[in-house]
Chains A and B, each alone.
Chain A
């Protein structure tokens, strides 16, 4: 079993839709979770960073962690064509010398 699992998509939504991107993780000891956005032919850029359970909001983006079910989510409200990218979830190993990444979900927001 991989440490982090993510549905690769692709996910296609109309502009203005609410998008839900999800990952599951295997180790209950994981505490820090990140979401990266990667545009085509570019490096991943950090979007959100959360610790433990709960929600974190930043503009149209909300990151949510449910430790009881080992489930992390990224919600995008009022999605825009500029949100079209691949979204990667990630979590560091306990000693922080390794990061586990999901395989990425490709999102397409249609105008």
Chain B
């Protein structure tokens, strides 16, 4: 079974703090994703990585950065946390299968971040 592990289930941080959210997958997937999920807004893509050290901006990258130094690990960084970044953050991974047959996203359990 694919396993995507997010380091924290719940986090409480203060405005202005630098926040690190960690994600690890154990299936040797090339692609990794960070989303945030808010009521009424659904899943919104923050950043995507298709290989080590490679990244692409998603739909809402402002205020976030990412790091992928190893294939299995993808980190989301909030440089200076703000209250509007209070949200559920979801990490996902998928195989880079150009035929599409195995191109399914697998999600972690999520990190619920509160910025006070």
Contact = CB atoms under 8 A, between A and B. Distances in A.
Contacts, number: 58
A98 B45 contact: yes
Chain A contact-residue range equals 20 to 34
A99 B105 contact: yes
Interface residues of B, number: 30
Interface string B14-37: 000000000000000001010000
A44 B100 contact: no
A32 B100 contact: yes
Interface in B90-112: 90, 94, 96-98, 100-101, 103-110, 112
B103 A51 contact: no
A43 interface: yes
B105 A42 contact: no
Interface of A: 8, 31-32, 34, 36, 41-46, 49, 51, 88, 90, 92, 96-99, 101-104
